[in-house]
Homo-oligomer: A and B are copies of this chain.
Amino acid sequence: MADPFPRAGPLARLAELGFRLPHAPAPVAAHVPALRVGTRVITSGQLPLVDGSLAAIGRLGAEVTVAEAYALARVAAVNALAAVHAQARLDDVVRVVRVGGFVASAEGFTDQPAVVDGASHLLEQTFGERGRHVRSAVGVAWLPLGSPVEIELEVEVEVRA
């Protein structure tokens, strides 16, 4: 159970969880990792890339286990936070609003929530009460590069004077 009111800031919490915030992926010509509109910051769908590579490839119910994909969803969520951080400091996040979780699902796999929990738990562990969010978890056919999971994020940040 996460501390509902973490005393440390989100970057310190991530460090305690064993994550260093990576550099946000470089913007591609036509689309960007995250974007701020007023107090909303939304991210592109993020894959669980580490140093540019996927730790596992394949679908749930076939090549990848729930435990593996749970860990990958954590990594994708950290990458989404890195994209947010390039637009607004994580210390300024007042609320995680929404997680969209896409899980590559082979025949008969119906435990998408257990996979997307990797992202949800990471966000609650990082932000405490402010990390609670709405989410949709769906089982898609295939994802870019053969990734087992893709995570998109929306957060609310405070207005700076």
Chain A residues close to B by CB (< 8 Å): 1-2, 27, 29-35, 37, 40, 42-45, 95, 97-100, 102, 104-106, 108-113, 117, 120-121, 123-124, 131-147, 150, 152, 156
- Copies of this chain in its oligomeric complex: 3
Given A95-B37, A110-B142, A146-B110; A137-B30 close (CB under 8 Å): no
Pairwise interchain contact B29-A1, C-beta atoms closer than 8 A: yes
Q: Would you call A138 and B45 a contact (CB within 8 A)?
A: yes
Interface pair B105/A135, CB less than 8 Å apart: no
Decide if B35 touches A138 in the complex (CB within 8 Å).
no
Q: A151 vs B28: C-alpha distance in the bound complex, in angstroms?
A: 19
Given contacts A30-B117, A30-B121, A30-B123, contact A102 B141 (CB under 8 A): no
Q: Is the CB of B142 within 8 A of A139?
A: yes
A139 smallest CB distance to B (angstroms): 4
Contacts of A143 in B (CB 8 A): 110, 112, 138-139
